[in-house]
Amino acid sequence: MLLPELGGRIQRAYDKVKQRDFVYHNEVVKPALVGLIGPWISGGIEFNWPQHHRPTTYMAIDVQIQQHDDGAQTVWLGEIEPMRGLQVMTGFTLYPDRALVEISAKVYNGNDTPRHFLWWANPAVKGGDDHQSVFPPDVTAVFDHGKRDVSSFPIAQGTYYKVDYSAGVDISRYKNIPVPTSYMAGKSDYDFVGAYSHDEQGGLLHIADHHVSPGKKQWTWGNCEFGQAWDRSLTDENGPYIELMTGVFTDNQPDFTWLDAYEEKRFVQNFLPYNTLGMVQNANTQAALKLERQNGQLVWGIYAVSPLNNARLIIATERGDNILLDRPVTLAPCEALMENLAQTTEDRLTIVLLDQQGQEVLRYLEHLAQPEPLPSPASVPLKPALIASADEAYFIGQHLDQYNHASRSAFDYYQRGLELDSGDYRCNLALATLEYNRANFEQAIGYADSALTRAHRLNINPQCGKASLIRGCAYERLGNVEQAYEDFYRATWSGNGKEGGFYGLARISSRQKKYQQALTFTENSLTCNGANYHTIALKALLLHKFGAV
């Protein structure tokens, strides 16, 4: 169940086979002061973007339903958020033969300058004594927000969130966490993360390419009086929940990534129910696999997300010289199979699922935990006055700008860079961009002039065209279209200025009613970036002028 009227969240996700909510279903809308602009509700799957906990939680968004020839249905939801002017279109697809929700997102920056954003899908799952987080087997360390603190995982053995876990405590279990706590996986080479309710024998899995979606997080209010008070504030009868967050282009919070001017980023996430297996060791959009050693037995299992017809499941030693199991498997979506084998070898094992053509569907090679020291927590940047190079000042300033740092200003570091080298190209360009974003266009031109003085000292054709581009945008805003035209054309000489430069030229030519020239400029711009929505729209308008559409 989707609610476009409440920010486009998934309010409910129900497993019809097992007749259970695989996402925590809050039966009431009971706002509390959690979100950026105040009211926030728990339950379902919330989509945190471009900032945590989403400024538009309670704003209605656009909706359209698409039907596919194969019987699949997609609900498209979209908005232009008011914080940074970024646009999102998110498609929620259900397939007739797959037990999952596929979420395809497109995030677009229609501004003249780069913007940063984060994206954390935030499914709530049932809390309580029987809850357990299902992190991949290679997750051995977890971080706090901003990587300020670190703990071993799943057995915490030190102090984390001021709680003494020195006795060795399994913090994958809700019941063992006595205070509000976040933890985020330090790294993982697996594409899944999930949670399981042992009393219901069912759980939830998130599947996404870990190269794009590395973020794996759990948050809880804590199994304590404070946490229970928050439970009462957010629901009437549905009890505690866990936030199992999944981040795209990020592995920590607050952790932002850049969207360049007119850039579109695309990604896919999948959420699905599963049952029977408990902890799993690998999963994708076709199946989940279990292989554990317990009390002298090998416990193996498979869960079908898509139909498995005449598949084969093989358990063997890593070298393949000892096959412990080789059997056919046919399972419908949401069906599971779990059995035990006598543990006859200490050798490292692998479990492999093959389709009926013999192609590999999914594999898990037993993870061998290696003794490694915990990674170090993040350190605080030096204060501006202590920075010794313009290069270091620039990168610290960029970090602070990107991460919306609460107590330090990127301006101070860029200015420190100019104290050390008044002509530094990157610091001047960064300040020009910040002033442009503040609508201080004269100041932006001044910094861009300084950047171009350095860039043009030896030649007028530098590798980077962004200073010419930002100056052209500023002149255009001030109404000096002649100078803007010159700067836009100069920006097109450089690879990173061609798209924006040609789009700027197209805007000016359109205002001057030079429509054929403007059309040529839009085509040149789209050659560099075919996903520039603004240029696409301008080209469509120009074609309409010519009667071509």
Looking at 274, 300, 331, which one is the last position of a domain?
Answer: 274
Based on the domain organization, do 330 and 471 belong to the same domain?
no
CB neighbours of residue 327 within 10 Å: 11
* Cβ within 8 Å of residue 201, ≥6 positions away: 275, 276, 278
The pLDDT-based confidence of 370 (bands split at 50, 70, 90) is confident
In a domain, 263, yes or no: yes
Question: Over 90: is that where the pLDDT of 546 sits?
Answer: no
User: Largest Cα–Cα distance of the chain, in whole Å?
Assistant: 81
Decide if 246 contacts 135 (C-beta within 8 A): no
Decide if 151 contacts 191 (C-beta within 8 A): no
**What is the average per-residue pLDDT within 473-485?**
98
* Cβ within 8 Å of residue 11, ≥6 positions away: 1, 2, 3, 25, 43, 44
DSSP-derived secondary structure letter, 82: T
Based on the domain organization, do 488 and 420 belong to the same domain?
yes
The structural domain count of the chain equals 3
In a domain, 174, yes or no: no
**What is the average per-residue pLDDT within 39-47?**
89
In a domain, 370, yes or no: no
Q: What share of the chain is helix, strand, coil (3-state, %, to 5)?
A: 25, 35, 40
Domain of residue 327, CATH code: 2.60.40.10
Based on the domain organization, do 206 and 62 belong to the same domain?
yes
Based on the domain organization, do 331 and 413 belong to the same domain?
no
CB neighbours of residue 489 within 10 Å: 17
Q: Which two tokens stand for residue 525?
A: 């711009």
Domain of residue 21, CATH code: 2.70.98.10
Based on the domain organization, do 416 and 522 belong to the same domain?
yes
Q: What is the distance, to the nearest Å, from the Cα of residue 108 to the centroid of all Cα atoms in its chain?
A: 14
Give residue 463's identity as a one-letter amino acid code: Q
Residue with tokens 């970090």: 399
- CA-CA distance, 261 to 296, in Å (whole number)? 58
* Cβ within 8 Å of residue 87, ≥6 positions away: 78, 79, 80, 81, 107, 108, 109, 110, 533
Residue with tokens 């976040």: 182
- CA-CA distance, 122 to 119, in Å (whole number)? 9
Helical packing angle, 466-477 and 425-437, nearest 10°: 30
In a domain, 208, yes or no: yes
Give residue 513's identity as a one-letter amino acid code: K
Looking at 317, 336, 365, which one is the last position of a domain?
Answer: 365
- CA-CA distance, 409 to 403, in Å (whole number)? 11
Based on the domain organization, do 263 and 329 belong to the same domain?
no
- CA-CA distance, 20 to 498, in Å (whole number)? 53
The pLDDT-based confidence of 38 (bands split at 50, 70, 90) is low
SS3 415: helix
SS3 412: helix
Based on the domain organization, do 286 and 264 belong to the same domain?
no
**What is the average per-residue pLDDT within 42-68?**
90
SS3 3: strand
| pLDDT (0 to 100) of residue 540 | 96
Based on the domain organization, do 253 and 286 belong to the same domain?
no
Give residue 447's identity as a one-letter amino acid code: Y
In a domain, 334, yes or no: yes
SS3 81: coil
In a domain, 148, yes or no: no
Based on the domain organization, do 452 and 398 belong to the same domain?
yes
Based on the domain organization, do 290 and 416 belong to the same domain?
no
* Cβ within 8 Å of residue 370, ≥6 positions away: none
* Cβ within 8 Å of residue 320, ≥6 positions away: none
In a domain, 371, yes or no: no
Which domain range does residue 307 map to?
A: 282-365
- CA-CA distance, 70 to 373, in Å (whole number)? 51
Question: Over 70: is that where the pLDDT of 548 sits?
Answer: no
Residues forming a β-bridge with 109: 86
Based on the domain organization, do 306 and 205 belong to the same domain?
no
Based on the domain organization, do 353 and 392 belong to the same domain?
no
Decide if 177 contacts 171 (C-beta within 8 A): yes
Question: Over 80: is that where the pLDDT of 169 sits?
Answer: yes
Give residue 357's identity as a one-letter amino acid code: Q
Q: Which two tokens stand for residue 379?
A: 């350190």
Domain of residue 441, CATH code: 1.25.40.10
Decide if 280 contacts 303 (C-beta within 8 A): yes
Q: Would the pTM count as exceeding 0.85?
A: yes
**Radius of gyration in angstroms for the set of CA atoms belonging to the chain, rounded to a whole number:** 27
**What is the average per-residue pLDDT within 384-407?**
94
Q: How far is CA 376 from CA 78, 165, 427, in A?
A: 39, 18, 29
Tell me the per-residue pLDDT of 317-363, one tens digit each, with 9 for 90 and over.
999 889 999 999 999 999 999 999 998 889 999 999 999 999 999 99
Looking at 365, 399, 423, which one is the last position of a domain?
Answer: 365
| pLDDT (0 to 100) of residue 57 | 78
Give the closest residue to 279 by CA, choosing from 371, 377, 405, 364.
364
Decide if 405 contacts 413 (C-beta within 8 A): no
Percentage of residues in the chain with pLDDT exceeding 70? Answer: 99
- CA-CA distance, 210 to 188, in Å (whole number)? 8
* Cβ within 8 Å of residue 356, ≥6 positions away: 309, 310, 311
Tell me the per-residue pLDDT of 88-135, one tens digit each, with 9 for 90 and over.
999 999 999 999 999 999 999 999 999 999 999 999 999 999 999 999
DSSP-derived secondary structure letter, 173: B
In a domain, 144, yes or no: no
Residue with tokens 């308008």: 541
Mean pLDDT score across all residues of the chain? 95
